[in-house]
């Protein structure tokens, strides 16, 4: 339904057909194949059962065929027999026989049909011509609308992008599956979940987090919020490394605050355990140079796509995400961070800031559903956390809009008590006093499809790296994830080989926009 509404809003009736005829061109069509398909449906129930769900009345170019197919579809959905006589009788009842060419034309359609042997091929040709006409319709309306002074260019871009995406993904439908095929597929899925220890979504690489969430699920909006210096960017970089390097899952990271090279430098520091300060200055000893070149190759070839557009509008974000999903098979999208996005085009605000954040939050959830991928967005927390004795964040601390909590499927907080000079955990079992050194907690405060939980992680602050909790005591980096899933093709990363070693030009980098609001993070890089 959404596809038809979007296409109809851009086609304006028969605009494209009139334009094409005026230019001396006929719109793409396959009327002969339409006759064969309609004729087959009227005489062969097997062909009807096999292909009727692949078509809608709109895909037929000849208006008479649209009327006849609509009647066939009505009878079929009503579990009534479909043949020449029932179709003619039904059209007589609804006064549509004359608009369908009369009973002589309907009988004529069956004359050249012998069987349904090649019905799928005939249907595919009809659908291909319909796609071409749809592309002409959308393009013609974009041209027409572009000449109007009142046109909102960003709204037009968004509608056009959405229309093209829907044509690509919503036109060709698959046919029926047999019970035999479905049972085998279901068993394969169940087996794969067993092998992955219950991970049904995109794994984070953090064992205890994945145990609680089952992996990040498609169409979910996941909010990761924290105060400055808690390590929000470090958390998603650690997770991005797990997903792209260990699991080889294509993913995109939109960094609205930090430059791409800065992010990669932090990831290299985390991967090689060489301080970012040394990487910026190039003051590495021979052993560190060797470690750098030997440990960074996997990161270079990871299917990771980074966009550093500042003040990114939700319209541009949606368009870029569609292209990443279609062209590169991206399966997870991250945003750092939500409050730096804008609702309108060109970086302009749109009225009340709380309303703008609400609109951005709703749009992120809509994009996750439209593209059927998890979207993880970082968010700020208000200063009220600092006035609380235990400094533990809660849902009411989400900054600027309660809509974030409402729209999100998962809301989680990063909490590092060590930063607040809190030396032992306040939520241990009675009698236990666990040190908070090199530890953090991911507080899952809202989980629409599961339980809430407090998950402890390690945090190696000298490398700004999160890992499994045992890493806090053994000094290890990333632990090996639970097996590398199959089925993902390695896609060339946007990071060109060797580019990671270029030193960032700090003269062109602006200070953190978060510094205008809060203290700068205490990372050494």
**Residues forming beta bridges with residue 439, ordered by sequence position:** 458
Q: d(Cα 194, Cα 202) in Å, to the nearest integer? A: 15
Report DSSP state, residue 500: G
Nearest CA-CA partner of 307 in 265, 254, 244, 376? 254
Q: Which residue has the tokens 């953190």?
A: 512
Contacts of 108 (CB under 8 A, 6+ apart): none
Show the 3-state SS of 46-66: HHHHHHHHHCCHHHCCCHHHH
Task: Name the CA radius of gyration of the chain, rounded.
Answer: 29
Q: d(Cα 414, Cα 440) in Å, to the nearest integer? A: 7
Q: d(Cα 69, Cα 88) in Å, to the nearest integer? A: 12
Contacts of 283 (CB under 8 A, 6+ apart): none
Helix (H) or strand (E) segment spanning residue 456? strand 453-460
Give the CA dihedral 379, 380, 382, 386, nearest 10 degrees. 120
- DSSP calls for 386-455: GGSTT----GGGBSS-THHHHH-SEEEEEE-GGGGT--B-TTSPTT---B-TTEEEEEEEEETTS--EEE
Which of 166, 212, 246, 257 is flagged as catalytic? 257
Beta-carbon count within 10 A of 475 CB: 10
| 170: three-class secondary structure by DSSP | helix
- Give the burial class of 157: count Cβ atoms within 10 A of its Cβ; 0-12 exposed, 13-18 middle, 19 or more buried: middle
**Residues forming beta bridges with residue 440, ordered by sequence position:** 457
For the question of residue 271 being annotated catalytic, the response is: no
Give me 83's structure tokens.
């043949």
Q: d(Cα 284, Cα 277) in Å, to the nearest integer? A: 10
Q: d(Cα 1, Cα 16) in Å, to the nearest integer? A: 21
Alpha helices in 78-118 (DSSP H): 84-93, 102-109
Q: d(Cα 277, Cα 418) in Å, to the nearest integer? A: 23
Where in the sequence numbering do the catalytic residues fall? 257
């Amino acid at each position: 339904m959404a596809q038809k509404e979007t296409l109809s809003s851009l086609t304006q009736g028969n605009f494209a057909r009139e334009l094409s005829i005026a230019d001396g061109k006929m719109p793409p069509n396959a009327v002969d194949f339409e006759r064969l398909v309609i004729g087959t449906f009227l005489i062969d129930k097997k062909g009807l059962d096999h292909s009727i769900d692949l078509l809608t009345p709109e895909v037929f170019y000849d208006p008479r065929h649209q009327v006849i197919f609509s009647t066939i579809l009505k009878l079929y959905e009503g579990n009534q027999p479909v043949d020449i006589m029932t179709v003619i009788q039904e059209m007589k009842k609804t006064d549509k026989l004359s608009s369908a060419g009369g009973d002589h034309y309907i009988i004529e359609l069956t004359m050249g049909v012998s069987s349904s042997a090649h019905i799928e091929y005939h249907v595919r040709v009809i659908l291909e011509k319909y796609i071409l006409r749809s592309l002409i319709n959308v393009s013609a309306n974009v041209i027409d609308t572009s000449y109007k002074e009142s046109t909102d260019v960003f709204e037009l871009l968004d509608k056009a992008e959405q229309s093209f995406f829907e044509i690509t993904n919503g036109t060709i439908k698959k046919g029926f599956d047999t019970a035999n095929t479905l049972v085998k597929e279901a068993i394969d899925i169940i087996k794969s979940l067993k092998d992955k220890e219950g991970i049904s979504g995109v794994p984070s690489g953090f064992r205890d987090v994945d145990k609680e969430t089952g992996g990040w699920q498609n169409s979910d909006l996941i909010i990761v919020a924290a105060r400055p210096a808690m390590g929000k960017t470090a958390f998603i970089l650690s997770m991005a490394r797990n997903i792209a390097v260990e699991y080889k899952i294509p993913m995109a990271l939109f960094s609205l605050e930090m430059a791409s090279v800065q992010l990669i430098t932090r990831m290299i520091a985390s991967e090689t355990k060489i301080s970012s300060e040394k990487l910026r200055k190039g003051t590495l000893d021979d052993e560190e140079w060797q470690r750098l070149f030997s440990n960074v190759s996997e990161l270079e070839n990871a299917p990771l796509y980074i966009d550093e557009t500042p003040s990114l509008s939700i319209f541009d974000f949606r368009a870029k995400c569609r292209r990443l999903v279609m062209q590169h098979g991206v399966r997870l999208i991250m945003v750092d961070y939500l409050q730096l996005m804008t609702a309108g085009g060109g970086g302009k605000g749109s009225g009340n800031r709380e309303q703008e954040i609400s609109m951005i939050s709703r749009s992120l959830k809509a994009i996750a559903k439209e593209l059927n991928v998890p979207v993880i967005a970082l968010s700020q927390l208000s200063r009220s956390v600092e006035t609380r004795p235990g400094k533990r964040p809660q849902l009411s601390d989400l900054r600027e809009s309660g809509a974030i909590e409402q729209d999100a499927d998962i809301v989680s907080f990063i909490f590092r008590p060590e930063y607040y000079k809190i030396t032992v955990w306040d939520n241990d079992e009675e009698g236990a006093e666990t040190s908070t050194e090199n530890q953090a907690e991911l507080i899952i405060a809202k989980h629409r499809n599961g339980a809430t939980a407090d998950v402890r992680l390690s945090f190696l602050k000298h490398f700004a790296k999160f890992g499994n909790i045992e890493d806090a005591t053994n000094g290890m980096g990333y632990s090996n994830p639970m097996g590398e899933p199959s089925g993902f093709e390695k896609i060339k990363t946007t990071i060109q080989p060797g580019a990671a070693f270029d030193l960032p030009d700090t003269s062109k980098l602006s200070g953190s926009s978060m510094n205008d609001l809060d203290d700068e993070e205490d990372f050494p890089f």
